[in-house]
């Protein structure tokens, strides 16, 4: 026996001393099956040293001996007229991708056709002849191409085109023997006369092809195995399955088998679990052994021929859910197959997006008209009826609840603003056409766990929208599918969703494992309500890094009260209205503090420009006037009201009268919020619940602003009450003992980063608002930059999306601010609370820059935690 030929079976393993590289990829896989004792078809490998040299070596006796050895195992004989064993030849390259043909059914010669057809039928026999002929003709075509024989090449191309049509035909035009007669002149001489000669001819031709192929560097082997058929009489079937459910991760085989069928084409399958107890037990053992070996879900193809199970192929699975992978990892960890380090490293953080949001059921979208493209704002899937304004959606939602009807809605608008938050909150998703990943709609959708996609190509006209070839009107159902990877898709009509369940999915257990590797640096949440806070806690958050108080004033029962405060004529009137808002704010903070008992809660005082709260249309104005009439007992003057609203309008409000600048002009607003914070805190301490408030002053540009707002000032007879003063007043009024708290600021302007050393004199913590810091550093609007971003990407003028991945200049400002701040205040606490905190690419920078935490939306907390754990593991290894 030539020592370059290696036999394998479920009982025969190729010795370890044989270099595995000599076997090629497919050969190595076959030997792995043999090592596991799987019911693999026996076979032999002509290794890479010999495969391209068969014109120089006579291996006919070796092949004959090994085929007889195979025959004794499978119960058929090569060339037997009654029960012929057919052969497949697998080109086993060491390259992942090779351009060699599929070679099946060798041994089909004239003498065996009647016996073969007796088992599988005349039609199938004819098809198998065509498959075999296609294989040998492709070898001849490639040989003709290499030697540049254009005449033969043209002939083979024409024949292969004809063959393709005949193979695709359900009813072949000729019988198996007639096809042999027809193709006889185009294949090597005596090809259909002897099974032994046919196989040797094919091996020699294939060897010649390998020797002439410029891409073959003597690194390709040939593997020969018998073929088995799922339609070979009774007690035969074929099938394919996954080692577990690829959507839910349940440890249960998922797939189908096809009784008395060669494969699934034109066949009706049955659930693999119904194949029968003996074969099911075998398949389960195979599947779960493979999972343990490869530490991943595998797909397995098999054939049962006359009651005997044979493993045909197994490979990785591409289309599997993150949940399924996590369930597998947890299962392997419990059984000590892998350790917790392996579990944490195995999942890329962005993949957790999928497990946190609904996903489309693939079987439910067939036939639905669709359009793909756009910018993913917030991942997931959503179904709902379309509404083109906040008011219309909220009214439809109210009616649907009253009538107990479907209350799933999708908000469709060119862009959203602060007043549209309430619609996004009750909608399932939002579809817009202006902005991008960092647009208002995208940011708010991520905060509330809703789906968002921005499609610049969408045209909205009245109550109808058009995207490419599809259009929909108000009240129509659409389905949004926004994967983390790949293009978003809008479907017309209703698909079906698979809803996430963090406890059932294994996510919470997975995150608890990841948190074991999080030391020092931690993750907080951006949360504005007790619901968000509790959700963030369940996902592993260690506090709240950003509570946006402006969102609280848009609630239906508050917005008009807040508008009344803004439009008040005097300090006295404003103070009166603020007293109405104070208990509302107190209840907000009470709920959030209570949810986060024992953890820091950073409350950002009012940041949004006042104009955002004012009526934007006639309906809102009418509702506000009705409110004023009921409150004040007289009908307001519409013209005067409009004039006051117009007077508050700004040309560039995001760089205008907002944040701490409002507090300088109207200190009573921040005073009300600070009182509400401490009233809630004192109340909870009375209830034996620990509270750690952190009061954040936004949009500070220099130390003097923070000093004024934090500590107050007396000047020219005017007394400005700072946060410290207000806390002392409310504590004295309530006769309470002090509660530890911090005052800090949001670093979101380059001037603040440069002046961090001075600012740190008056601030105990910095929180980097990287959304605004990016805008003000680069001079780019996050809502508008997508209009020119494609051009900038084309010419490599910016590296990626600066509102997703931190720009180097922004990073430099952060590092500088941390260093300068800690030179003044060594114990300065620093965090990042912009949307960048959810991007794993930024987490390592934040750790290296000396920050203490990142803060992100509740739904992004697991992603950030996993990124931190992986960064910590990388640092320690």
Binding residues for substrate: 548, 604, 748, 769-772
* CA pair distance 441, 454, nearest whole angstrom: 9
* CA pair distance 861, 534, nearest whole angstrom: 12
Instruction: State the catalytic residue, choosing from 833, 836, 846, 856.
Output: 833
Instruction: Provide the β-strand partners of residue 856.
Output: 525
* CA pair distance 126, 176, nearest whole angstrom: 4
Binding-site annotation, residues: 548, 604, 748, 769-772
Residue 545 belongs to what H/E stretch?
A: strand 544-548
- According to DSSP, the β-strands at 87-93 and 270-271 are unpaired
Is residue 431 within 8 A of residue 419, CB to CB? The reply is no
Tokens matching residue 330: 């947890």
Gyration radius of the chain's alpha carbons? 35
* CA pair distance 700, 753, nearest whole angstrom: 10
Instruction: Quickly tell me which residue has 């193809």 as its tokens.
Output: 301
Q: Give whole-number Cα distances, 707 to 115, 516, 660, 718, 823, in Å.
A: 97, 40, 11, 16, 18
* Helices 122-146 and 195-212, packing angle to 10 deg: 30
Buried b (16+ CB within 10 A) or exposed e, 130-162: bebbbbbbbbbbbbbeeeeeeebbebbeebbee
Helix/strand/coil for 329: helix
Q: What is the 3-state secondary structure (H, E, C) of 576-590?
A: HHHHHHHHHHHHHHH
The candidate with the shortest Cα–Cα distance to 91, out of 128, 57, 142, 56, is 142
CA 521: distance to chain centroid? 25
721 is catalytic: no
Instruction: Provide the β-strand partners of residue 602.
Output: 694
* Beta strand extents in 756-850 (DSSP E only): 765-768, 829-832
Helix/strand/coil for 856: strand
Is residue 373 packed enough to be buried (19+ CB in 10 Å), middle (13-18) or exposed (0-12)? Answer: middle
* CA pair distance 543, 854, nearest whole angstrom: 11
Long-range contacts (CB closer than 8 Å, 24 or more residues apart) made by 82-86: 82/115, 82/118, 83/115, 83/119, 84/108, 84/112, 84/115, 84/116, 84/195, 85/226, 85/227, 86/116, 86/128, 86/226, 86/227
* CA pair distance 42, 358, nearest whole angstrom: 45
Helix/strand/coil for 532: helix
Instruction: State the catalytic residue, choosing from 6, 127, 407, 440.
Output: 440
Is residue 324 within 8 A of residue 338, CB to CB? The reply is no
* CA pair distance 179, 493, nearest whole angstrom: 49
776 Cβ contact list (under 8 Å, min separation 6):
655, 748, 749, 750
What is the phi-psi region of residue 468: left when phi exceeds 0, alpha when psi lies from -120 to 50, beta otherwise?
left
Helix, strand, coil percentages, rounded to 5, for the chain? 50, 20, 35
Is residue 735 packed enough to be buried (19+ CB in 10 Å), middle (13-18) or exposed (0-12)? Answer: exposed
Residues in the chain, total = 877
Binding-site annotation, residues for Mg(2+): 748, 772
Is residue 855 within 8 A of residue 838, CB to CB? The reply is no
Instruction: State the DSSP code for 218.
Output: S
547 is catalytic: no
| Active site positions, annotated | 440, 833
């Amino acid at each position: 026996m030539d020592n370059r030929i290696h036999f394998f079976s479920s009982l025969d393993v190729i010795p370890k001393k044989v270099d595995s590289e000599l076997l090629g990829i497919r050969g190595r896989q076959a030997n792995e099956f043999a090592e596991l004792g799987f019911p693999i078809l026996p076979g032999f490998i002509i290794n890479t040293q010999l495969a391209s040299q068969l014109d120089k070596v006579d291996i006919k006796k070796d092949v004959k001996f090994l085929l007889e050895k195979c025959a004794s195992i499978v119960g058929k004989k090569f060339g037997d007229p009654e029960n012929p064993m057919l052969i497949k030849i697998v080109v086993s390259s060491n390259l992942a991708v090779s351009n060699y043909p599929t070679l099946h059914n060798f041994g089909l010669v004239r003498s065996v056709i009647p016996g073969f057809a007796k088992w599988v039928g005349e039609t199938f026999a004819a098809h198998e002849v065509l498959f075999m002929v296609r294989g040998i003709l492709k070898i001849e075509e490639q040989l003709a191409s290499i030697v540049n024989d254009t005449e033969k090449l043209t002939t083979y191309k024409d024949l292969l085109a004809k063959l393709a049509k005949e193979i695709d035909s359900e009813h072949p035009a000729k019988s198996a023997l007639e096809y042999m007669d027809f193709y006889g002149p185009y294949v090597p001489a005596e090809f259909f006369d002897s099974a032994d000669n046919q196989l040797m001819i094919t091996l020699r031709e294939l060897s010649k092809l390998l020797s002439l192929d410029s891409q073959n560097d003597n690194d390709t082997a040939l593997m020969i195995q018998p073929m088995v058929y799922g339609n070979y009489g009774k007690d035969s079937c074929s099938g394919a399955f996954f080692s577990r459910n690829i959507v839910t991760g349940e440890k249960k085989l998922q797939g189908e088998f096809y009784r008395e069928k060669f494969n699934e084409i034109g066949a009706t399958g049955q659930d693999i679990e119904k194949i029968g107890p003996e074969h099911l037990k075998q398949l389960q053992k195979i599947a779960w052994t493979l999972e343990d070996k490869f530490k991943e879900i595998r797909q397995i193809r098999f054939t049962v021929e006359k009651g005997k199970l044979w493993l045909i192929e197994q490979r990785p699975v591409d289309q599997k859910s993150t949940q399924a992978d996590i369930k597998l990892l947890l299962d392997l960890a419990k059984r000590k197959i892998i350790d917790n380090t392996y579990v944490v490293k195995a999942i890329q953080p962005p993949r957790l997006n999928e497990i946190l949001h609904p996903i489309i059921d693939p079987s439910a979208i067939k036939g639905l008209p669709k359009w793909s493209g756009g910018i993913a704002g917030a991942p997931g899937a959503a179904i709902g009826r379309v509404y083109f304004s906040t008011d219309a959606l909220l009214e439809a939602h109210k009616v649907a609840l009253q009538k107990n009807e479907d209350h799933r809605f999708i908000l469709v608008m060119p862009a959203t603003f602060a007043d549209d938050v309430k619609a996004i909150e009750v909608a399932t998703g939002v579809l817009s056409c202006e902005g991008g990943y960092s647009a208002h709609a995208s940011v708010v959708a991520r905060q509330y766990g809703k789906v968002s996609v921005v499609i610049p190509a969408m045209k909205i006209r009245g109550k109808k929208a058009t995207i490419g070839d599809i259009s929909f009107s108000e009240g129509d159902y659409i389905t949004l599918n926004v994967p983390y990877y790949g293009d978003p898709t809008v479907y017309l009509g209703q698909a079906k969703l698979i809803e996430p369940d963090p406890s059932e999915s294994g996510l919470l257990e997975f995150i608890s494992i990841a948190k074991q590797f999080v030391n020092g640096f931690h993750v907080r949440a951006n949360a504005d309500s007790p619901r968000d806070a509790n959700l963030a806690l369940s996902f592993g958050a260690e506090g709240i890094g950003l509570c946006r108080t402006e969102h609280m004033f848009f609630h239906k029962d508050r917005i008009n009260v807040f508008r009344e405060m803004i439009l008040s004529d005097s300090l006295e009137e404003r103070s009166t209205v603020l007293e109405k808002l104070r208990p509302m704010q107190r209840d907000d903070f009470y709920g959030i503090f209570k949810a986060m008992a024992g953890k820091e809660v950073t409350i950002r005082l009012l940041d949004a420009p006042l104009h955002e709260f004012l009526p934007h249309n006639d309906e809102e104005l009418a509702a506000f006037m009705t409110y004023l009439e009921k409150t004040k007992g007289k009908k307001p003057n519409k013209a005067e009201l409009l004039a006051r609203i117009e007077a508050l309008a700004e040309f560039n409000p995001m760089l205008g009268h907002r944040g701490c600048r409002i507090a300088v002009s109207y200190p009573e607003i921040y005073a009300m919020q600070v009182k509400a914070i401490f009233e809630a805190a004192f109340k909870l301490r009375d209830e034996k619940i620990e509270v750690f408030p952190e009061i954040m002053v936004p949009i500070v540009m220099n130390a003097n602003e923070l000093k004024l707002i934090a500590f107050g000032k007396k000047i020219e007879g005017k007394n400005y009450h700072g946060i410290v003063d207000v806390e002392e007043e409310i504590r004295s009024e309530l006769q309470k003992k002090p509660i530890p708290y911090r005052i800090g600021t949001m670093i979101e302007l380059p001037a603040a980063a440069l002046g961090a050393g001075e600012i740190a004199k008056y601030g105990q913590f910095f929180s980097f608002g990287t959304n605004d810091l990016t805008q003000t550093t680069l001079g780019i609007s996050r809502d508008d930059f997508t209009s020119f971003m494609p051009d900038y990407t084309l010419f490599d003028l910016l590296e990626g999306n600066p509102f997703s991945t931190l720009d180097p200049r922004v990073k430099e400002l952060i590092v500088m601010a941390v260093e300068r701040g800690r030179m003044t205040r060594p114990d300065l606490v620093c965090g990042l609370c912009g949307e960048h905190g959810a991007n794993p690419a930024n987490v390592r920078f934040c750790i290296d820059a000396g920050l203490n935490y990142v803060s992100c939306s509740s739904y992004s907390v697991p992603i950030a935690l996993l990124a931190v754990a992986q960064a910590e593991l990388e640092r320690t290894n």
